[in-house]
Amino acid sequence: MEGSFRDLEKCQKTYQKTTPSQYFAPQKIEKALEILSNYGEEIKIISGGTDVLVQYYDRLYEVNNWLDLKNILELQKIRISKNQMEIGATITHSQLEKSEDIKKYFPVLSQAAADIGSPQIRNRGTIGGNIVNASPAGDLLPPLMAYNAQFKLLSTKGEMIVPAGEFFIGPKKTILEPAQLLTEIILPLPSKRTFGCWTKIGKRKALIIATITLALVVEMAEDNKTIKDVRTCLGSVAPTPIEIKDIREKMIGKNFNQLDFNQLGQIVEDKILPINDIRGTREYRKDVAKEIMINSLEEVYSSWWRSYR
Amino acid sequence: MTKLIIKLTVNGREREVETTPSTRLLDLIRDDLHLTGTKEGCGKGECGACTVIMNGKLVASCLVLAPQADGAVITTIEGVGDDKCLDPVQEAFIETGAVQCGFCTPGMILAAKKLLEENSHPTEEEIKRGISGNLCRCTGYQKIIDAIKLAADRLSRRDSGKSEEDA
């Protein structure tokens, strides 16, 4: 609010825990960073609110002050510059799902966005929120890792670019500092010979927290026969979204006809560390991980074959 | 608690409301504007009973803070149809028996209207996806799906200027 915004400086001087709560909705990133550096842990960043408010109503934490990102237009852009795509942190899941550029370059991310929640949730929830919420089951996280995403973190002290794989450190835990704001997701544009597959397993189609997810992305070399790179990223099978790196050495440099899909599925089963919870047992997740890996490899293989012929 | 004033347009009428930073849009609609057609079910965005259309998008009003709706244009169920004439979607719900206890109906109708706005000839799968954020514990959904199909047929005939008898 502009009114409360003008009071900011006065507020900073007299601020104590007993101070009435404040709501800020600045238009500039710089202003948001300034507010964040002043309030630190005493302010909660909100955008779509689809995770923050559920946790707030359950009183998982007390909120004294809100920093709403809704007026920062800079965070609402999808841009392609040179060899990369830059996605603003408050791009919603609906926008990700419908964006022609994202469908073209990052279909696995687009499909994962389409599987989130419901129309109501997809219209409000954002990519940045899904990332900073850092649920092990966050649907966008395995695709982002599989496409080698990097996150741009800003604070009044400067800029940090972090690979997705180094951002998550535990369930709902990240390296993000209270004074930092995730502003942008940077994705290198994949070559035309890149093929991917998205799988989400849950008890129903809508509004379900994933029991297990898999984003498989395979890039072929110039000859379109040899596998140049592969990323096998899973959600809900470890404290953070993870990549099974052992798959790389088994696949890179090989042709599809040299691969044993069953063995690759077994590697995924062996390498994940799922827990027992209401969404599925450890054993169930391990069995399913193997099966969805095999199915994804078959899917990727047939998309490659269609393009090769 | 800090008080703040927000302005929003609800069902075509501009409103100015005093609220707090942590008030939900749902409570503002029900308690301050006294528009009780919007219901609270789960309060976690999972049931869709609190669905409204905000700036052209279907949202769960329990997951929006009132100040986030400052400047927004909102349609609630009270803004669908008018005193003299029901909306074709509402008529179709009545005719097919898609309303039983009625608690999900306001959200369901808004979801259906939004779906038909974006896709005038939805398939059954597309209808199911369009209402996937709205739970109904009475109908088993089939009658709701039938109602949306009926409304789609009527709306497309109306738009092409044909009456039902012509079809």
Residue by residue, DSSP assigns A255-266 as: BGGG--HHHHHH
A203 touching B (Cβ < 8 Å): no
- Nearest chain A residue to B24 by CA: give it: A53
Q: Where on the phi/psi map is residue A130: left (φ > 0), alpha (ψ -120 to 50), or beta?
A: alpha
Report the residue from B62, B65, B133 with minimal CB separation from A206.
B133
Answer yes or no: is pLDDT of A115 > 60: yes
How many angstroms separate the CA of residue B132 from the nearest CA in chain A?
6
C-alpha distances in Å from residue A117, one per residue of A120, A181, A197, B28:
8, 25, 20, 24
What is the structure's pLDDT at A12? 42
- Encoded tokens for A209: 């927290």
- φ, ψ at B116 (rounded to 5°): -70, -25
Rounded Cα distance between B120 and B159, Å, is: 10
Structural domains of chain A in order of their starting residue, each with its CATH number: 2-68 (3.30.43.10), 73-188 (3.30.465.10), 194-308 (3.30.390.50)
3-state secondary structure A143-192: HHHHCCCEEEEEECCEEEEEEHHHHEEECCEECCCCCCEEEEEEEECCCC
The DSSP code for A21 is P
Sign of CA pseudo-dihedral A173, A175, A180, A185: negative
What is the structure's pLDDT at A222? 95
Answer yes or no: is pLDDT of A210 > 60: yes
Q: Does domain B88-159 have CATH number 3.40.718.10?
A: no
How many angstroms separate the CA of residue A230 from the nearest CA in chain B?
32
Read off the pLDDT of residues A276-285 as tens digits, 9 standing for 90 and up.
898 999 999 9
A227 touching B (Cβ < 8 Å): no
How many angstroms separate the CA of residue B162 from the nearest CA in chain A?
32
Read off the pLDDT of residues B33-55 as tens digits, 9 standing for 90 and up.
999 999 999 999 999 999 999 99
Rounded Cα distance between A46 and B167, Å, is: 51
Q: What is the mean pLDDT of residues A255-274?
A: 97
What is the structure's pLDDT at A3? 43
Yes or no, beta carbons of B44 and A23 under 8 Å apart: no
Report the residue of A118, A204, A209 to disrupt the B interface, i.e. the one with the largest count of B CBs within 10 Å: A118
**Which residues of B have a CB under 8 Å from any CB of A?**
1-2, 4-6, 20-22, 24, 43-46, 48, 51, 57-60, 62-65, 67-68, 70, 111, 114, 129-130, 132-134
How many angstroms separate the CA of residue B81 from the nearest CA in chain A?
22
Yes or no, beta carbons of B45 and A206 under 8 Å apart: no
How many angstroms separate the CA of residue B84 from the nearest CA in chain A?
30
May I ask the CATH architecture of the domain B4-79?
Roll (3.10)
Report the residue from A49, A66, A207 with minimal CB separation from B46.
A207
Q: Taking CB atoms and an 8 Å cutoff, what residues of chain A touch B132? A: 118-119, 205-207
Kindly indicate the confidence band of residue A61, based on its pLDDT and cuts at 50, 70 and 90.
low
Report the residue of A120, A121, A209 to disrupt the B interface, i.e. the one with the largest count of B CBs within 10 Å: A120
Kindly indicate the confidence band of residue A289, based on its pLDDT and cuts at 50, 70 and 90.
very high
What is the structure's pLDDT at B117? 97
Q: How many C-beta atoms surround the C-beta of residue B154 within 10 A?
A: 17
A60 touching B (Cβ < 8 Å): no
Q: Taking CB atoms and an 8 Å cutoff, what residues of chain B touch A53? A: 24, 45, 62-65
Report the residue from A21, A124, A207 with minimal CB separation from B59.
A124
Yes or no, beta carbons of A53 and B111 under 8 Å apart: no
How many angstroms separate the CA of residue A32 from the nearest CA in chain B?
16
Residue pair A230/A217 in contact by the 8 Å Cβ criterion: yes
Kindly indicate the confidence band of residue B159, based on its pLDDT and cuts at 50, 70 and 90.
confident
How many angstroms separate the CA of residue B2 from the nearest CA in chain A?
5
- Encoded tokens for A289: 């991980």
Residue pair A267/A246 in contact by the 8 Å Cβ criterion: yes
Q: What is the mean pLDDT of residues A18-22?
A: 68
Location of each CATH 1.10.150.120 domain in chain B: 88-159
Residue pair B23/A56 in contact by the 8 Å Cβ criterion: no
Helix (H) / strand (E) containing A58: none
How many angstroms separate the CA of residue A188 from the nearest CA in chain B?
31
β-strands A65-68, A22-24 pairing:
parallel
Location of each CATH 3.10.20.30 domain in chain B: 4-79
pTM above the 0.90 mark?
A: yes
Answer yes or no: is pLDDT of A296 > 80: yes
Instruction: For residue B108, give the amino acid letter.
Output: M
Q: Is B92 exposed, middle or buried (0-12, 13-18, 19+ CB in 10 A)?
A: buried
Yes or no, beta carbons of B111 and A22 under 8 Å apart: no
Report the residue of B63, B70, B117, B124 to disrupt the A interface, i.e. the one with the largest count of A CBs within 10 Å: B63
What is the structure's pLDDT at A4? 46
Answer yes or no: is pLDDT of A35 > 70: yes
Average pLDDT, chain B: 95
Kindly indicate the confidence band of residue B167, based on its pLDDT and cuts at 50, 70 and 90.
very low
A22 touching B (Cβ < 8 Å): yes
Report the residue from B64, B67, B130 with minimal CB separation from A23.
B67
